[in-house]
Structure 1
């Protein structure tokens, strides 16, 4: 026994050399084995081609029989039965027994079974040795009844295989009978054997897939029994070599006498086998395995015995299919119960990722995994034993380029090109979205296995020094000593039921996500409707309150002027409070009105030069606060693509706040400092431009930064700094309507920096549209500046302008009829 010390992560023999063996036309050998006879007939029942040994059977030559009726060879009754069988519907393909006859030569020779079939437009009759001339099938049941009785009691496939091996050996007398199945790579694995003393055991050993080339496997699926009675046989040629009706070599796919490849004969001899017989195990239409019989010397089982063995193979095939289907169904049912529990947990959770992570046992048991990763919304949540997130990212990069919804691998490192990780040798992944990186991935650890091969599979074929034909130029390996391969970097394979349950899990998950999306869409629709109603209400209330508040302020001023002498000091104080409160209420109403319009007004984007806009806003501040000493530090600013009116509101609010919150600075303390700058975005803001306004004012506690941009949220007392608490809320709404983001940083008594990012947008409008937009925006800007000079707030000016801005109809969702 030899041991292969190297690591081979695949489950196939390493380095099998390419050969012509797989292209050998084994169904067109042009000859048969000598233990039987073959004749091909025309439609009139005359012999048009036959094996050369038919002449001896009829006491003449093969050439003399060409053109003669079949009765000349088998007698009229058998010939008539053969003609009727060949003329019957369904005669194409599998041979059928016509009957049995005595050997025409008499003596002690064995009777002959007459078998007929039609294939590729050619009618073929074969004669093979039989036990007797009676009813062949009457002897079939006694041969297989032991097997039939024990069939139902066998608990599993391996027990069935052991039973079949023993039964076939008993009725055939072969020295060794093997039952082996094929894996997905085509390698054979011996799962049962029965043998006489002196025969080498191959139990639990493997035979490489190349031992049976593809065309031989295809023949095994069609013609499910093959006999080689004597490895030293001399083949019998067909006369004439080409079939007269087709002009081609006769296709002997369904012939039981078909001559075999010289390579396979040499394979038998190297194995110490003088005779072999194989029966196919076909499950769900595919070659599942073989029952293979070996004998040290030549051996010719009778036709009835071979028919019984073929029957055993068919029953074994049906039983294996039933047992596998039953086991698969039972395992699949258990997985579906787990899936039901998992889905129930997910349905009761706000977010399916949290639900999956909260049920690690059910999630891992769903596919028999040891670890899992849930990838959703840019997050990676892991449960169980998994690789680190860096390696998971590499796997995700590979998965992003794959096609299909489910991907399974038992050798992840080799297939993905990533570094091997012993906890993730195998992977089963489902993609939840075709557009986004959303996956659920299960992992399995490495399972190191020692595979025993019947001989070194790397020496499958070698040149033959005695070759006379191309086929003989290849010689199979000469040694069948145990050769052990250590397989690493592989997990246990994923079962079909596990892959199927992963598909069902994906479908159920998509259903949950879709249902949740529909619920969110419904909620968004309702919130949008409520928001519209609220905005409409706020607009109506704000609009209706403006006049009364102005009247209150106006009459309070008149009262203070006309009745000043009649009022007491306390009365004058009350009147002043009334007027101030009315003016504040009016300003609040104006700001509310503007805020309500900001969510509905259409955006008219164009290139805005921030340098010019900021210069004008600073000039306004200097006119409004001529006594303030402010150190303005303005960098070279960028050009933004935005609505110029709304961008004017954003920067005016930020500059107003900076001026207001630096009012406590004096020249004796430290002069007020306001910086305005611009920088390109980075990371997730790489396609944005960032603008910031920084001051050295009173600042605020950073713990409350989340409240800063809320409506009516104030972080300072109104007695210290006046304001309505709407300015920064307006800033946030405007920036977000542009697809951007606003944020702030601050430190108490050090200062505040408010920043906003606006995405870069390329504009290419027509010349007329450009002129029209510039005119409209220019007029709007002038309107805002004029309003500011006249004492009207910027927010109020925006509200007034927005109310007459054309094209301000907001987008509305189209809802299905109830």
Structure 2
């Protein structure tokens, strides 16, 4: 197959090319696909040129007919062992019947054994001694304090010294897919691309996916004529062969023309995979055809893996330090916000820290008719309009580094408000904490006009890849410094802390007014209840996140979807609890909303909620005689959940936990009992059991805050009921409560 000429290349669909199933190979070797019995099922059309055996004549015959008995004797054990993986393994160097020497790579994929034979001049096996000095020298120079730029520069120089390529670059992708050359080692007569950027369109999405899957790719001569496979379909699948992992896989004609336009006739790319994602490439270029032997490629691939691990450790350390710095500022602010009675005045008192917290140029507080600003901010009218827009769109935490793109009036605010981080501090009112970042004018130096390929794709006729790689500068306006993920996450945490402070202030104000005594009592009960219950969804999030991480290699999509659904539901519940708490503190009181409740359903819901805490434990549940009662479902659910959660917790040392939920009935009330066979408690201290923060067991034995049973008592008494407990230490406990049959007044 002859490579397409520049005049008949169509790049409009290069992101959809079948790059994994090209149907052909590069001709500096030949390929055979084999059955388990080592019969030849397919052969590349250039077989005769390398071995003297016609490809068609080899099909259906034993492997020896294609490469000779001596070569088969050397390879048969490993080729037929059934132990080959999906990554090509070097099986040695063989001499075919006509005296030609080949390095042999083989892997099992697509239902076949794929054997690749790369022509070499030597009869001896590859000498992997190249690997050790390269890796050992690189490790010796890495050091704990070497920066990522220093590491990438070192890697570029080492790879060039081993391979002999004229130019070696380390190329890093940004979140949008654009790449920038962050390190380079080159001969004097090669153009430099250091610090220049390449558009994402130069490496389509499917190509980046293949780089992630197969970490090394070599093109020995961009002017090659591809050798097709005979027959052209995989006999095991009836479709074209998937050559994703094949070293000889033929590449896109568009990419080959791209190389020629760049003045490059040979290339090698080594993928840098960081945390499972394609971080960048070690990209090697040579102006003339260049062969890189298997041992040198292996050395470069190993160096790439070590570089990726070093990058990951440096980025993790940098991320951790950044989070610690931001959290330190947040803790400092929170300490100052608890001093003083006016919450808004307290916020304005930490304006400098607020700027440092978000690396912002200006900050504003919007509370009802008040607007307080600090630093370089838009005027009050613009801020009020922005707050109205945020309220209409219902954003929780909103962030952007290009505000005008989401909010067109911000085109007039680019100087000091190109970026925005908005934090709502009320669910009911338009109360916002706003951080503004100024415009950061950026000049990006591209290796050629990045819009040339886009223009070509939109043209009415098919065009070749872009011709020019001369430096082309672009100035980008209207953007700010992007918001760091840690800043966004800690802003959400800061919001929760602010709500806690606001709640504390609301409690203090309620205590000053006797006529608000009832409201204060309900606020206290509700705040304890919600904060206690909030840990459950957070534990679910953490637990299912761990399960999701552990299942990262699993192909069970349904299981991972279930984990994600549970994480999302738990996060939603946690957010709802915090928001409900804020709403209650702002409204002044939380009225009971009694309704008819089927206690069987309520108890079953609590048990389902406890599933993650129970895990693999054996719990024998007995539910008997549950009636329909009139009560507030949210409060009663919380009370029952606390009782069942305690029963689960205190039976954990039992091989078989037994928990009974029963109900007796009198003329006036229902009497519920939750009995377990757990640790029990000393009945001499039962009077302390329902007090806030009272514990009858050591924290080391049974963890808990000591407010769960206090919550139960408050809730039941609010419903005009009673609560009590009985126990025999070491044999179990029974907790009981009553609910009146007559509907309660809300």
- Same fold at TM > 0.5: yes
Partner SS, residue 26 of structure 1: coil
Match for residue 164 of structure 1?
155
Counterpart contact for 1:51–1:238, Cα < 8 Å: yes
Within-5 A mapping of 1:228-627:
228-402=219-393, 405-420=396-411, 421=413, 422-460=415-453, 473-517=462-506, 527-528=516-517
Match for residue 553 of structure 2?
none
Consecutive unaligned residues of structure 2, counting only runs of 5 or more, are 1-9, 522-716, 724-746
| 1:121 and 2:114 are equivalent in the alignment | no
Partner SS, residue 417 of structure 2: coil
Within-5 A mapping of 1:803-814:
none
Give how far 1:483 is off: 0.8
Give the direction of change, closer, same or farther, for the CA distance of 1:815–1:65 in structure 2 (3 Å limit).
farther
Work out which of the two has the higher radius of gyration on C-alpha atoms and give 1 or 2.
Answer: 1
TM-score scaled by length of structure 1? 0.59
Give how far 1:42 is off: 2.2
Counterpart contact for 1:461–1:476, Cα < 8 Å: no
Match for residue 72 of structure 2?
76
Residues 658-684 of structure 1: CA distance to partner in whole angstroms, max 9, x if unpaired?
A: xxxxxxxxxxxxxxxxxxxxxxxxxxx
Aligned counterpart in structure 1 of residue 41 of structure 2, from 29, 48, 54: 48
Q: Distance in 2 between matches of 1:116 and 1:135?
A: 15
Give how far 1:406 is off: 2.6
Consecutive unaligned residues of structure 1, counting only runs of 5 or more, are 1-16, 465-469, 533-811
Q: Distance in 1 between matches of 2:96 and 2:134?
A: 24
Give how far 1:463 is off: 6.2
Q: Does 162-171 or 345-354 show the bigger shift?
A: 345-354
Aligned counterpart in structure 2 of residue 32 of structure 1, from 11, 25, 29: 25
| 1:179 and 2:170 are equivalent in the alignment | yes
Counterpart contact for 2:11–2:464, Cα < 8 Å: no
Q: Distance in 2 between matches of 1:95 and 1:397?
A: 60
Counterpart contact for 1:432–1:438, Cα < 8 Å: yes
Counterpart contact for 2:198–2:446, Cα < 8 Å: yes
Partner SS, residue 48 of structure 1: strand
Counterpart contact for 1:461–1:475, Cα < 8 Å: no
Give how far 1:287 is off: 1.1
Partner SS, residue 476 of structure 1: coil
Match for residue 14 of structure 2?
21
Partner SS, residue 464 of structure 2: strand
Q: Does 38-47 or 26-35 show the bigger shift?
A: 38-47
Residues 94-137 of structure 1: CA distance to partner in whole angstroms, max 9, x if unpaired?
A: 2222333235532xx5x433222223333322223467634654
Give how far 1:446 is off: 0.8
Residues 507-532 of structure 1: CA distance to partner in whole angstroms, max 9, x if unpaired?
A: 32233334444555676787345999
Give the direction of change, closer, same or farther, for the CA distance of 1:510–1:425 in structure 2 (3 Å limit).
same
Alpha-carbon RMSD: 3.0
Give how far 1:484 is off: 0.7
Q: Distance in 1 between matches of 2:80 and 2:428?
A: 64
Partner SS, residue 366 of structure 1: helix
TM-score scaled by length of structure 2? 0.64
Give the direction of change, closer, same or farther, for the CA distance of 1:815–1:406 in structure 2 (3 Å limit).
farther
Give the direction of change, closer, same or farther, for the CA distance of 1:375–1:256 in structure 2 (3 Å limit).
farther
Counterpart contact for 2:79–2:113, Cα < 8 Å: no
Give the direction of change, closer, same or farther, for the CA distance of 1:529–1:475 in structure 2 (3 Å limit).
closer
Within-5 A mapping of 1:760-779:
none
Aligned residues: 511
Q: Distance in 1 between matches of 2:479 and 2:410?
A: 13
Q: Distance in 1 between matches of 2:316 and 2:359?
A: 19
Give the direction of change, closer, same or farther, for the CA distance of 1:357–1:462 in structure 2 (3 Å limit).
closer
Q: Distance in 1 between matches of 2:268 and 2:143?
A: 26
Give how far 1:377 is off: 4.3
Counterpart contact for 1:461–1:474, Cα < 8 Å: no
Counterpart contact for 2:64–2:72, Cα < 8 Å: yes
Q: Does 197-206 or 70-79 show the bigger shift?
A: 70-79
Q: Distance in 1 between matches of 2:273 and 2:482?
A: 22
Counterpart contact for 1:243–1:250, Cα < 8 Å: yes
Q: Distance in 2 between matches of 1:525 and 1:101?
A: 96
